[in-house]
Amino acid sequence: MKLLSVSNLTLGYDHAVVARNLHFEVNEGDYLCIVGENGSGKTTLMKTLLGICDKVSGDVIFGNGITKNEIGYLPQQTIVQRDFPASVKEIVISGCQARLGFRPFYTKKEKELAAKNMEKLGITELADRCYRELSGGQQQRVLLARALCAAGKILLLDEPVSGLDPQITGEMYELISKLNVDGMTIIMISHDIQAAIRYASHILYMSDDIFFGTAGEFMASEKGKLFIEYEKLNTRRAV
Amino acid sequence: MEKLLFYMQYPFVRYALIVGVLIALCSSLLGVTLVLKRYSYIGDGLSHVAFGGIAVASVVNLTNRMTLVLPITIISAILLLRTGHNAKVKGDAAIAMISVGALAFGYLIMNVFGTSSNLTGDVCTTLFGSTSILTLTMTDVWLCVIMSVFVVAAYVLLYNRIFAVTFDENFARAVGTKVDFYNLLIAVVTAIIIVLAMNLVGSLLISALIIFPALSAMRLFTSFKNVTVFSAVFSVVCALVGIIVSILAGTPVGSTIVAIDAVGFAICCGGSLAGRKLA
């Protein structure tokens, strides 16, 4: 089932074009990794998909009856959040805000959903802790639980592992991968091309000439080969 | 105590207490959001704008200053809060510019066109609120009560959305919350509170009512709900104590309240340090 199709999309901020001619599709159960250099428009693409940024031209079509408030989103952390006095419980349930409609308060059902998602991500015992006192990895789990509260079928993640140490990064990838296996469609921005190849089903490489295809196709492409060479070089240098 | 009861017989003292407590309550609720959104200074900026507005109103001899001051302040608030992120002049610089600009023009206008014989006294009253809270009329009190009911009701009903918008605008926008609307609402309510609060503490000290309760609560509590509730309680108690002390000791109302707020903040800091040592 096709969940999202993007055709001939041009991205930009205030008339400055960031990227053009984007074509790709996301089907139910896919795991799409968006990679590319800094400034290639990865975050802008994600914000455009979410409707936070306006597109310059082209089409973004969500299929299969997905409405805007069924998309889970894990943004990059902001400075405001770093010392925010809020409990984990409060943050996770704010993922249900779109379900409120015109009601002022959350219902029992929404509280249960929040509890369920906290359990899924193993942060139930942190529920009453303060967000600013948590480690980076725990904070990301909290934000992921919040995203799950909003997500019906599709989850958009903007660099979920940035700033995490290698072990926590690995755990985070496993967690996301598990969500994908359980049926959640994932679109993730990443700097980590190796992890992208390892976990993702599809790759969108953003640069002057854009690549979109399965992870296997990416490995076989010129760009993929170049990347693998580069990685080898890096590992050799590290040794 | 006897002296206090004696003063309580006078309606103007009761009015002052009611208005003081209500303004303290409203400003502390909003203060939590403003401080967390990094807009602590907006109270200061807007109060200077309101000062400019009052200067103009008194020069053109308006009978009801509010009709001019309130719209001017609301428009400035909207401009300042809306252009927060992608403006040509960045947030803090814009606030500084508007605030000193309004202050300078306000004083200039009062000085050049003013007809009052006691200019320094007028300016001092507007800046430090000295006695105006003790000269409130019944209409002022009702206006304040209605506004406060509106602010508190809106805050309680929209509590969950205000939290969402304060914590993460991008996420809120992504899931379809009308972030711009809530920012606008926060801007308008901030402006209203500031104009009302000018009677209480004057335009120079308003920031204190917005910042101190929120910062004190953030020292001690770790959930948004507790921070909000404590900040409201803190602010009301300080305002109450401040007004009573100022009546009994004959000190200026505004600066007494702010001084008590500052002492309260110091106590909360101490409490937080002690708590950390115990833990």
- Residue with tokens 């400075």, as numbered in its chain: A79
Q: Report the pLDDT value the prediction gives residue A166, as an integer from 0 to 100.
A: 87
Contact B20, B200 (CB under 8 A): yes
Task: Provide ipTM, 2 decimals.
Answer: 0.85
Instruction: For residue A130, give the nearest of B177, B217, B222 by CB distance.
Output: B222
Q: Which residue of A has its CA nearest to B227?
A: A85
Least Cα separation, residue A221 to chain B (angstroms): 34
DSSP chain B: -HHHHHHHTSHHHHHHHHHHHHHHHHHHHHHHHHHHTT-TTHHHHHHHHHHHHHHHHHHTT-S-THHHHHHHHHHHHHHHHHTTTT-SS-HHHHHHHHHHHHHHHHHHHHHHH---S-HHHHHHHHHH-TTGGGG--HHHHHHHHHHHHHHHHHHHHTHHHHHHHHH-HHHHHHTT--HHHHHHHHHHHHHHHHHHHHHHH-TTSHHHHHHHHHHHHHHH--SHHHHHHHHHHHHHHHHHHHHHHHHHHT--HHHHHHHHHHHHHHHHHHHHHHHHHH-
Cβ neighbours of B121 (radius 10 Å): 12
- Sign for the CA dihedral angle at A92, A98, A104, A110 comes to negative
Q: Which pLDDT band, with edges at 50, 70 and 90, does B115 fall under?
A: low
Q: Which residues of A touch B (CB under 8 A)?
A: 14, 47, 50-52, 68-69, 71, 73, 75, 78-81, 84-87, 89-91, 94-95, 97-98, 100, 104-106, 128-130, 132-133, 146-147, 150, 156
Nearest CA to A223 out of A213, A211, A238 is that of A211
Contacts of B160 in chain A (CB under 8 A): 94, 97, 100, 104-106
B64 touching A, CB under 8 A? Answer: no
Contacts of A68 in chain B (CB under 8 A): 175-176
Q: Report the pLDDT value the prediction gives residue A186, as an integer from 0 to 100.
A: 92
Q: Cα separation of B258 and B263, whole Å? A: 9
Cβ neighbours of A210 (radius 10 Å): 18
> Would you tell me which residues 165-194 of chain B have a C-beta closer than 8 angstroms to some C-beta of chain A?
166-168, 170-177
pLDDT digits (tens, 9 = 90+) for B165-223: 999 988 898 888 888 889 888 888 888 888 888 766 777 778 888 999 999 999 999 89
Q: Report the pLDDT value the prediction gives residue A92, as an integer from 0 to 100.
A: 93
The answer, yes or no, to whether residue B277 has pLDDT greater than 80, is no
Q: Which pLDDT band, with edges at 50, 70 and 90, does B229 fall under?
A: very high
Block mean pLDDT (10 aa), chain A, length 239: 84 79 88 86 87 84 73 85 89 88 88 91 90 89 92 88 86 90 91 85 85 84 76 66
CB contact under 8 A, B160 and A104: yes
Contacts of A132 in chain B (CB under 8 A): 222
Interface test with B, best of A66, A84, A155, A157 (most B CBs within 10 A): A84
Instruction: For the full predicted model, state whether its pTM sits above 0.95.
Output: no
The answer, yes or no, to whether residue B142 has pLDDT greater than 80, is yes
B158 touching A, CB under 8 A? Answer: yes
Least Cα separation, residue B221 to chain A (angstroms): 7
Q: Report the pLDDT value the prediction gives residue B9, as an integer from 0 to 100.
A: 80
Contacts of B168 in chain A (CB under 8 A): 75, 78, 80-81, 94
Q: Report the pLDDT value the prediction gives residue A232, as an integer from 0 to 100.
A: 72
Q: Report the pLDDT value the prediction gives residue B236, as an integer from 0 to 100.
A: 95
Q: Decide the pairing of beta strands A2-13 and A57-62.
A: antiparallel
Instruction: For residue A86, give the nearest of B86, B158, B224 by CB distance.
Output: B224
Contact B140, B19 (CB under 8 A): yes
Length of chain B as a residue count: 279
- Terminal C-alpha separation, chain B: 40
Nearest CA to B166 out of B177, B157, B153 is that of B177
B277 versus B36: the higher-pLDDT residue is: B36
Supply A119's token pair.
Answer: 């359990």
Burial (0-12, 13-18, 19+ Cβ within 10 Å), A151:
buried
Q: Which pLDDT band, with edges at 50, 70 and 90, does B228 fall under?
A: very high
The answer, yes or no, to whether residue B91 has pLDDT greater than 90, is no
Widest CA span of chain B, in angstroms? Answer: 62
Q: Which pLDDT band, with edges at 50, 70 and 90, does B106 fall under?
A: confident
Average pLDDT, chain B: 84
Q: Report the pLDDT value the prediction gives residue B260, as an integer from 0 to 100.
A: 94
Nearest 10 degrees: Cα torsion A208, A211, A215, A219: -70
The pLDDT > 70 percentage for chain B reads 89
B150 touching A, CB under 8 A? Answer: no
Length of chain A as a residue count: 239
Q: Cα separation of A224 and A216, whole Å? A: 9
Name the phi and psi angles at A55, rounded to 5: -80, 155
Contacts of B153 in chain A (CB under 8 A): none
The answer, yes or no, to whether residue B147 has pLDDT greater than 90, is no
Q: Report the pLDDT value the prediction gives residue B7, as an integer from 0 to 100.
A: 79
Check residue A155 and report its DSSP letter.
E
- Terminal C-alpha separation, chain A: 45
Q: Which pLDDT band, with edges at 50, 70 and 90, does B263 fall under?
A: very high
The answer, yes or no, to whether residue B231 has pLDDT greater than 90, is yes
Interface test with A, best of B35, B88, B171 (most A CBs within 10 A): B171
- Residue with tokens 């800094």, as numbered in its chain: A38
Q: Which residue of A has its CA nearest to B180?
A: A52
Q: Cα separation of B91 and B160, whole Å? A: 26
Task: Mark out the alpha helices in chain A (DSSP H runs).
Answer: 42-50, 79-82, 88-93, 108-120, 136-150, 166-181, 193-199, 215-220, 222-238
Widest CA span of chain A, in angstroms? Answer: 59
